[in-house]
């Protein structure tokens, strides 16, 4: 960790001063209230050493990064049958696209686009007694952090503006790939998207994908090694929607972004790093977040390739 600190501080100072050509997401009105100048980084490694700069302790809306947590729980509960409901192919399309759903007969291309995450929510709804509470409890146990919570304001704002997500859920249900009623599936989906975490909390909660030895404070293992490997593979190929190739090309790590401007990236067996900068590029990924990570893996020569 010692040799990473100076590199992180240097790149942070450099990227902070670069003009940000991105824009804050405003299609969910509540997200537009964020202070766009926030910029934070936090890294945790497999020896439990950690380091952060900037606004790394400030909670923000993690949005689609939470699709990684819902997928993990669904995979744990449903096992390999999950892949009958959602595929593991890059979509090459925006995160909220309908395009392939029609020809793919309601089977979403992957669990990280909205359609896939909505099917994952349906799977969870069929397994969990109290989905919202049980999912939160799962996140709190992995992170050993009882402060994790949904943002009521963001959930409401997503509901008020959620025409497209409702339509996607209805459309998939018309093909028979949603078993529960649309309203509770979408309500659960919006809650999951509204989870709030800081960069520090993000880099801690996803250590189970970086560290084969990981178990929770209650002694529970989250996923088997082979399952964790598969989730990392889907992240590498699908974590950035139609920019997944670009992220692999420039950064070279499995990662996942959210429209709140957060990104997490995993170096299996080494570390988990989280970056937050709210302004997004045209593919809805954090502009400075990607820039930071590209410089970070280049200067530390720590990509998986
Ligand atoms: N809640 C957002 C949505 O459903 C999540 C999208 C994202 O972060 N890419 O549109």
Query: Does ligand 1 have an atom closer than 6 angstroms to the CB of 284?
Result: yes
* CATH number of the domain where residue 49 is located: 3.40.710.10
Transcribe 57-111 into DSSP letters: T--EE-GGGGHHHHHHHHHHHHGGGHHHHS--S---S-TT--HHHHHTTT--S-T
Provide the residue range defining the domain that includes 153. 2-300
How far is the C-alpha of 284 from the C-alpha of 130, rounded, in Å?
32
Query: Does ligand 1 have an atom closer than 6 angstroms to the CB of 95?
Result: yes
Strand order in the sheet with 40-45: 50-54, 40-45, 271-276, 262-267, 255-257
Task: Tell me the mean pLDDT in the region 114-140.
Answer: 98
1 has a pLDDT exceeding 90: no
Q: Are 51 and 57 in contact (CB under 8 A)?
A: no
How far is the C-alpha of 219 from the C-alpha of 191, rounded, in Å?
27
pLDDT score for 3: 87
In a domain, 96, yes or no: yes
Q: Alpha carbon of 182 to those of 154, 171, 189: distances in Å?
A: 20, 10, 10
Per-residue model confidence as pLDDT tens digits over 231-280: 999 999 999 999 999 999 999 999 999 999 999 999 999 999 999 999 99
Place of tokens 């090309």: 249
Which residue owns the Cα nearest ligand 1 atom 6?
64
In a domain, 188, yes or no: yes
Task: Tell me the mean pLDDT in the region 281-290.
Answer: 96
In a domain, 305, yes or no: no
pLDDT score for 2: 79
- Answering whether pTM is above 0.95, one says yes
Q: Could you give the number of structural domains in the chain?
A: 1
In a domain, 232, yes or no: yes
In a domain, 289, yes or no: yes
pLDDT score for 259: 97
How far is the C-alpha of 51 from the C-alpha of 31, rounded, in Å?
27
Place of tokens 């509901």: 159
Which residue owns the Cα nearest ligand 1 atom 2?
63
Cα(259) to centroid(ligand 1), Å = 6
In a domain, 142, yes or no: yes
281 has a pLDDT exceeding 90: yes
In a domain, 105, yes or no: yes
Average pLDDT of the chain to the nearest whole number: 97
Question: For the chain, how far is it from start to end, CA to CA, in angstroms?
Answer: 20
For the CA of 63, the nearest atom of ligand 1: 8
Query: Does ligand 1 have an atom closer than 6 angstroms to the CB of 96?
Result: yes
Place of tokens 């992220």: 247
How far is the C-alpha of 67 from the C-alpha of 115, rounded, in Å?
11
């Amino acid at each position: 960790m010692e040799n990473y600190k100076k590199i992180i501080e240097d790149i942070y100072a450099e990227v902070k001063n670069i003009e940000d050509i991105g824009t804050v997401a405003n299609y969910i009105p509540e997200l537009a209230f964020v202070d766009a100048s926030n910029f934070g980084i936090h890294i945790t490694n497999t020896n439990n050493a950690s380091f952060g700069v900037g606004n790394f302790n400030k909670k923000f809306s993690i949005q689609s990064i939470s699709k990684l947590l819902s997928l993990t729980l669904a995979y744990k509960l449903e096992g390999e049958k999950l892949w009958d409901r959602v595929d593991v192919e890059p979509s090459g399309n925006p995160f909220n696209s309908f395009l392939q759903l029609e020809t793919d007969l309601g089977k979403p291309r992957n669990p990280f686009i909205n359609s896939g995450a909505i099917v994952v929510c349906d799977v969870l709804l069929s397994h969990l007694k109290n989905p919202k509470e049980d999912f939160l409890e799962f996140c709190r146990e992995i992170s050993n952090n009882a402060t994790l919570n949904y943002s009521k304001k963001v959930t409401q704002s997503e509901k008020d503006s959620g025409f497209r997500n409702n339509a996607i859920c209805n459309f998939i249900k018309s093909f028979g790939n949603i078993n529960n009623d649309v309203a509770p599936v979408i309500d659960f989906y919006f809650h999951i998207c509204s989870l709030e975490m800081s960069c520090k909390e993000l880099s801690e909660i996803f250590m189970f994908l970086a560290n084969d030895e990981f178990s929770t404070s209650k002694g529970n293992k989250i996923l088997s090694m082979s399952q964790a490997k598969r989730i990392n593979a889907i992240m590498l190929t699908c974590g950035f929607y139609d920019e997944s190739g670009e992220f692999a090309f420039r950064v070279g790590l499995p990662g996942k972004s959210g429209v709140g401007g957060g990104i997490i990236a995993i170096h299996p067996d080494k570390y988990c790093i989280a970056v937050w900068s709210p302004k997004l590029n045209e593919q809805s990924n954090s502009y400075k977040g990607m820039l930071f990570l590209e410089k970070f893996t280049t200067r530390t020569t720590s990509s998986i390739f």
